[in-house]
Amino acid sequence: MKILVAVKRVVDYNVKVRVKTDGTGVETANVKMSMNPFDEIALEEALRMKEAGIATEIVAISCGAATCQETLRTALAFGADRAILVESDTELQPLAVAKLLAAIVKKESPGMVILGKQAIDDDCNQTGQMLAALLGWPQGAFASKLARDGDKLAVTREVDGGLETVSLSLPAVVTADLRLNEPRYVTLPNIMKAKKKPLETIKPDALGVDATPRLKTLKVQEPPTRKAGIKVPDAKTLVDKLRNEAKVIS
Ligand code: AMP
């Protein structure tokens, strides 16, 4: 079975995000960029399925500017067999990405697509669900465990109050949650090998997809700074403040 893995280039999770002074977005110039952490987990799961003999080929896909090639080279260094960049200089929103991925799925006919549960830059948590809907495929979102069960895939999902296991017929779309696995480290020899692996570039037009944004960002602003806390002398004062100042208890 061939597995497609969607990997997004995002501001590194260790970077303190700064809002642009004109409020149009967050600063990305001279900022460290990395693979979205949930996509590393998705890729790791695909690699483990290949090592277990369940998957035969892993194709990493990223949609965005030419700089996403760097993210794809990282995916190849982790162990993906080849990569596809859907290159676009316009902002790609989840519906556009889902349509682009759906077009690639039609070309590649994979048995499964794994995505991260959400991208840490837009926090949308939409692309996997939209992709499954566009393809008409079953979906297992927020997966914390995957197991091949004959011609089906058992997906354990993290839901409110516990775990739910669903049985999906393949082909299917899965999105990876934090506890699915712990991604491996990339080794230097694998970084070198990745340079020779195939990386194809396609434009959205060639896939027949209109990737124009549907949503307009009106304003981006920093969250209000938290006020310093105070110490209260006893429980009675605390209850009094919660009731009469914060008005959170009656
Ligand atoms: P989101 O719906 O934006 O929170 O993203 C959910 C997941 O969709 C991410 O973890 C990625 O696996 C995938 N994804 C979103 N945008 C892109 C992109 N531009 N390129 C590749 N994969 C993406």
Q: E strands, the chain, where?
A: 2-6, 9-11, 33-35, 57-64, 82-87, 112-116, 139-149, 152-159, 162-169, 172-176, 199-202
d(CA 230, CA 210): 54
What are the beta bridge partners of residue 116?
A: 176
Measured by CA distance, the residue closest to atom 14 of ligand 1 is 8
With 0-12 / 13-18 / 19 or more C-beta atoms within 10 angstroms meaning exposed / middle / buried, residue 113 is: buried
194 lines ligand 1 (CB under 6 A): no
Query: What's the pLDDT score for residue 155?
Result: 97
CA 234 / ligand 1 centre spacing (Å) = 49
Q: Which amino acid is residue 48, in one-letter code?
A: R
CA 170 / ligand 1 centre spacing (Å) = 21
Residues of the chain with pLDDT under 50: none
Query: What's the pLDDT score for residue 150?
Result: 84
CA 127 / ligand 1 centre spacing (Å) = 6
CA 36 / ligand 1 centre spacing (Å) = 8
CA 118 / ligand 1 centre spacing (Å) = 6
7 lines ligand 1 (CB under 6 A): yes
- So what CATH class is 2-222? alpha beta
Query: What's the pLDDT score for residue 175?
Result: 98
Q: Ligand 1: which of 92, 115, 201 to mutate, most ligand atoms within 8 Å of CB? A: 115
